[in-house]
Amino acid sequence: MAPEQLIGCFVVEVGLRQAWPFLGFCDNRSTPPQESRLYLDTDWCVEAPELVRGTVDDEAAWLTAALALNGTTIAEAQVTDDGTLLLATTDQRSLVASGQPQSAPVGEPWWLSDVPSRWR
């Protein structure tokens, strides 16, 4: 899934899966609805309305900050030239995920994956 496909989706979950913070998205425009997850293995910043920054290891900070994104609808999604992901919601909240991996990355600094229907 490309980040631009998140426009119009809404955030339905915030969590941690093993070592990675994630956001879950739902797209109700299709039948059946499609779900996807954004996983982070990099530095992040949530502005909702206060600014909170963290790394992949800041589990409590992630859960607290990202919870403010739950239930919001994505209005803008883009990837900058350096790979940074920028998401903005319809109610002026945002997530920025760095395009630079952590010092010992397992893979990409952030990635999107579909959520199989059997996991919903």
Task: Provide the residue ranges of all domains of the chain, joining segments of one domain with +.
Answer: 3-109
> Residue 64's CB: how many other CB atoms inside 10 A?
14
Percent of the chain with pLDDT over 70: 93
Strands 42-47 and 51-54: antiparallel
pLDDT at 116: 73
pLDDT at 18: 86
CB 22 within 8 A of CB 15: yes
Instruction: Indicate the residue type of 98.
Output: S
pTM equals 0.91
Phi, psi of 64 (to 5 degrees): -70, -50
How far apart, in whole angstroms, are the C-alpha atoms of residue 2 and residue 115? 14
